[in-house]
Structure 1
Amino acid sequence: MTNQNIFTVSRLNAEVRLLLENEMGIVWLVGEISNFSAPVSGHWYFTLKDSRAQVKCAMFKGNNRRVTFKPQAGNQVLVKARLSLYEPRGDYQLIIESMQPEGDGRLQQQFDELKMKLAAEGLFAQALKTPLPEHPQRVGVITSKTGAALYDILDVLKRRDPSLPVVVYPTLVQGEEAAIQIAQAIGRANARAECDVLIVGRGGGSLEDLWCFNNEIVARTIAASQIPIISAVGHEVDVTIADFVADVRAPTPSAAAELVSRDNSHKQQVFQQRQQHLASSMLHYFSKQQHQLSMLSHRLERQHPRQRLMQQAQQLDDLQIRLARGIQHQLSQKKQGLQRLDHRLALCSPQYQLSHQQNHLQQSTRRLQDALKHQLLNRRHQLSLAAEKLDTVSPLATLKRGYSITQSADGDVITDASSLQSGDKVITRLASGEFKSTVD
């Protein structure tokens, strides 16, 4: 094994990216948008998914400026993309070039695919176009028998050339069965060979309304027709596959009627007819050149320095997102640490300690006051009990029961009457008051 057979991760991812971009080319994809992100760089990043799988996508601002709606999660879209690889992470991804809502996008994709297919087969070539007869003998009209287009055509023909016979081949011009009926009407007109020019068309409408004129069966039937066909579908701005393959394109049904009718302005009619031929040739030429330009642009795109710039732009967005997340994480951690230090500092601050000691002092004061009140109540109760006991043995209590105390003038208590002599002064104390007397 040589060193050339040993890949680095960077070399492997670069080789895989080139392989994907060169081999797969452009792909069309339908899916549901999720995880949509639009950084300040202007690029879009999102995921396309279905019920069983998903793929990462990037749409750079040079392309997303052409998107006519604001993508949101849940949108069903049709995208045109190139397969690639985001080398720094090794992620397989799609580089989106265009995006449309799924319904309109599918129809436009089918239109472009059929247009390129028929152009490649040469069905739009000017050499296959059959010139319109200078003086038509009978005109066939293939359209709805109740549509405004038929009345417009008949009105113009009546005004310009009332003698020109008209054969109407009624058919549906909208819906699923319309394409088959239009093809059958063209075939029926060719089989009858009763007209020398056919007008095929209808009034204006949406892309979906006009879709039967973008049908491959209708296109091939028009190309195979032996009778020259004028395509007159919609308004002047409406373009269908039938316009490309028909011998002449008229901007409106009324204009088609003017092309096949004769009046005093016959030279103008010839001029318009040639102008239509020129427009058809230019349309075919531009279509062919556009196809070649698309192929050359795709080849240039694969080798353009923009690919590396897109990779680096995506990598820059990825790094910015990671940096923002890292900074946010660091700020969150620092904020939490600062909050913890603030809490610890608050616990150690003199103000907190003073407040804590004041609370402790207040609690101790309350406990001391409660203890003093309790002691006071106990002492009062004990005093009350002692007073009651003292009152039971107090001389005053004895006096209250009707007894008295007799004292001599000197204050001695007289307990024996023999100690007294006639004429002695004595004092008698009662429960309430006292009186003096003389011994007789």
Structure 2
Amino acid sequence: MKNVTFRILFFLNAEKETHLNPNTAQAITVSQLNHQVRSILEGSLQRVFLQGEISNLTQAYSGHWYFSLKDSKSQVRCAMFRSANSKVSFQPVNGMEILLRGRISVYEPRGEYQILVDAMQNAGDGALQAAFEALKLKLAAAGLFATSQKQALPQQPQRIGIISSAKGAAIHDILSVLKRRAPHLEVIIYPSLVQGTDAPLQLQQMLQLANQRQEVDVLLLTRGGGSSEDLHCFNDESLAYAIFNSTIPVISAVGHEVDVSISDFVADMRAPTPSAAAELVSQNAMEISQRLSAYQQNIKRLWQWRNQQFESRLHSLQQRLALVSPANQLQQQQQRLDSAQMALTAVFNTKQQFRQHRLEQAFSGLRGFRAEQTISLAHERLSRARLALEKAQAGVQSSAQNRLAQVCQQLEQLSPLAVLNRGYSMVQAEDGSIIRDSDSLYDGQKLRLDFAKGHASVQVLERSTKLHNTDSE
């Protein structure tokens, strides 16, 4: 009966004619319609018990929970206020299978019916979450998540590739960020489905195409937020291997910050949102300008420092050059000469003053004595000194004569003439060399004989090495 009432509400006073008659039609406002629907639903189903998987969970600042409950074919919006969820003993997450109790209501501002949940119970992980965890464990064991396999992002990429829906919100967000931060970057879009059963294959093909063309420095694999089913295409095993085998660094930016996919684990880097991914691959123009300004300041300071070093070095060299220059050397020598002259003059004046003082003292002393007595004493001392000198001179002369006689006697004893006076002669060759041995002679050789008185020239007729004994003859 209540279902009949619901149907009558929509067809009440409906007329068969094609055009509505404003005079006879009883029009109601949208708010009135939603209010009536709410009254019917809340009056028809007092309490419902549902089982399903949580999706699109949002925890508001007020403490209320808003989420969708779904199965393989349908979903329904749910709200659980703070007074009710404070009694839940676990923390719900997307993909969790739960049992709930609540009542049907209508959120009139949007005309959406929803379940106002007053009790919730964990019914075990959902099928999608279980498949996600199983694939995650499998790929981790295969080494696809290893940090050592991650590629470093380029510091200053010049061209960026985006694999996403060409009409999605993610593309718009990324392009807005790049236009603001780095308008010089080139962007190449590889369009692909980002949800549905055909999406994993298309995403994989776009990855392979980008790697074949090698025209970008980094790839953004991305899409905006959505339900777990919408994002499930990024949990595909073949897509994970395509990301792992990419020679181009890949950034995964799927959904919102709370959404996690297999592509996030395999990619070289994960970004919480598409906009955050765009910020990762772009340098803010203002930051670049500030960095360039800092570089200019550093270069300026370095140039000033080097210039100061060169000026100091030049000044030092100029000083050294001044020290060794001829003009400076001449000045130094002239200064030394002037100093020496002044010192010599000072010494001369000092000595002159000293001598003058001594002379004055001498004259002063002489004034106290009579000249005749002084002269007489001087003559007496002079006479005694002369006698002593003559006596000493006579003794020295006598000693020298005796010594000379002894030396002359020794010289006469050692003189060759003394030997010749005893009857010996000295034999010399024509070149003046002394002949000491007959072996050095030859027949017919001319020789010179020197005697004590005179000499004679002779010629060798015969030679013999035997000594001639005159005593035996």
Instruction: With the length of structure 2 as denominator, give the TM-score of the two structures.
Output: 0.36
Instruction: With the length of structure 1 as denominator, give the TM-score of the two structures.
Output: 0.39
Give the structure with higher Rg (CA). Answer: 2
Specify which structure has the bigger relative contact order, considering alpha-carbon pairs within 8 angstroms and separated by 6 or more residues: 1
